[in-house]
Amino acid sequence: MKSRLTLLFLFPALLFAEEGITPPDYSFVNEFIRMLSVLGAMIGALLLVAWFMKKMMATRIEQINQTSEIRILESRTIAPKCNIYLLDVRGKQMVVAESQAGVQHLTNLNPEETNEMD
């Protein structure tokens, strides 16, 4: 029994020949092309799911921004994991910073000041 398992793992063609069964036709090129096509399909599916999720999240953020009393007017990344946000909270505009240390209020702005910047 142990010799049959050894033959199966080391020399499968000998095991087939021993029993009088011919091994199935094997083409390396066909198997390689099949493997590449499955890999391409999987990568394509992952890219499609990533694109769909990105689109869904952007749409959701826009919907939340329109219905909420707190809106993100603009955001900037100034360093890795460090952002500045211009917020509109019930008509009052403010600038806040987000970093690893936390969220900090920087300043309040008058709506006239932000209109002059445009």
Task: Give the least confident one: 5-9, 90-94, 99-103.
Answer: 5-9
* Better-predicted residue by pLDDT, 117 or 50: 50
Model pLDDT, residue 84: 93
- For the chain, state the CA radius of gyration: 31
Q: What is the DSSP string of 2-65?
A: HHHHHHHHH-HHHHHHHHTPPPPP--HHHHHHHHHHHHHHHHHHHHHHHHHHHHHHHHHHHHHH
What does DSSP assign to residue 118?
Answer: -
Model pLDDT, residue 57: 83
- Residues β-bridged to residue 34: none
Model pLDDT, residue 24: 65
pLDDT tens figures, 9-66: 666 565 555 555 555 677 888 889 999 999 999 999 999 999 999 888 878 777 777 7
- 95: pLDDT confidence band, cut at 50, 70 and 90? very high
CA dist 92 and 111 (Å) reads 7
* Better-predicted residue by pLDDT, 89 or 60: 89
